[in-house]
Structure 1
Amino acid sequence: MKLTRKQVLAKAKASDLESVKKLNCWGCNLTDISIFSQIANIEVLTLSVNSISSLSPLAGCLSLCELYLRRNSIPSLSELSHMRPLTRLRVLWLAENPCCGADSSQYRLTVLRCLPRLQKLDNQVVTEDEIALALVEGEEVNTPPGSVQNQLSTNGHPETETENDPLNYNMEETNKIREELGMKLLSRDKFPSLSSPSTRENKLTLKRTHTLDAVLLLLQDLDEEELRFVHTAATNRLQTYMLDSETLTYSLQTQKRAEIQH
């Protein structure tokens, strides 16, 4: 069933869609919620116990703070990619959907990696440590194949880099960012052209450089709470590297002692 303008206005007791701030459509047998592309000011939305499979109509609901989607037909966590622009979203109830899978722990980490601003997920409070762990161990959520967003960004070629890719900077743009951040500018010999033949190592080095630039630039837009999340995640990641290094060193020392004994 398609949710219509008339139904929305009747349920919200509103005269126009722009004034709709709260809406409860629990158990309405809904499959089509495309109307929400016209309800940009919605703040609290209940869509539990329906048959909704796509979240793309919610991508423009930038004022959304609470979203209840329990017991629907959402097939994949990739649908959450449509909700990344919803920076005010703090409460999400997604349980009892096909996308949740059998591994509840990994499901939760993946959701929180995609939506790290959440304060409550499936009626359970989200902790700072949980967010930090999710940023490290949660799976990356990609745009659903065949979606309009994916088609526009790739033009049907998923492997093709686009002009909108934050990593696809040219030398001038990258050096401008580095200058703003007080970093040393890159020389041309350290910035191989993407259009000219280059080795795999050069491409990987270039991508890492762009990744660092993108991360440092994005840090300027984060608030205090978000910076704490990043700090905790970075600390945990460094500890993991240190443990791996210590394990490798111990293994090499053990192997060397064994060789000497023989």
Structure 2
Amino acid sequence: MTILLLVNVILPAFAREVTLYWEPSPSPDVIGYKVYYQQGAPKLPLSGTEADQGTSPIDVENSLMVSISGLDESVVYYFSVTAYDSSYNESTFSNIVSTTWMPPLLSPQKESLVVPWNVAFQWDAGPYEHYLNYTLYYGTDKDMVINAGVTPYRPGSSSNIHWPAVTNSQLILIALIVMLTLLSTTGPRGWRAAYPRRIAVAGLFFVSLVACGGGGSDSSGDVAYFSSTTLMSVATGNSTSYQTDDLQSGTTYYWKVNAQSTTEPGTVYHSETYSFTTQ
């Protein structure tokens, strides 16, 4: 018996449960279907063992859809379907479909409590056939973390911008400098002629103030500060861990990892988004 099946796969956003569906066989003597699966490589026959529904192949009888759960989220799985008749003659394999790998997050664990200093973010590396660079995102705004690396949240092309914080006393000092500069009587042609010069002087004072500290903290390495606590990103290269000491106590943070393929430009794998609360 020969048959042509076109198998499709539905992948949920954040779980390794895979739903497969296919068109019915045009052969009138077909009474059921078998689903084959395997991790690692699309080499027939697929012979996986770890699914909750049993080892490969899974007999789904006359159903045209199956959800397979219990799969390891750290690897890629491959699937194919065959049809069989009342004499249990089996068809050739359908097309092969596969899951999309997601970076598994290891620590901090989902909805865990952690000490806010020296938090170590850790995630699992990609399958051997992937060559990946990782970007860690973490912060207090859940939506911004989920969409990080997908939707741009700030203008500008630089990824290493850190706007310095300015204290109230420094703001007052800046205002006084600007006011005194504008009110001074410099230049023989009056206020209008001296105005650009005064603004330049005030600007230089402000730049000097920021350069001397400005109340902000230094940014170093590959850390990109989108705001003080809302969203931060760290490019870690091929490293699967990062340690930070900039978290506040009594705060809920969200984090995820994007993995950028170095062999397939534009291909990005997104992890789940985990939350944890500092004590």
Which TM-score bucket, shorter chain as reference?
under 0.3
* TM score, norm. by length of structure 1: 0.24
Q: Which has the higher contact order (CA 8 A, sep 6+)?
A: 2
Normalized per residue, the structure richer in strand is 2
Larger radius of gyration: 2
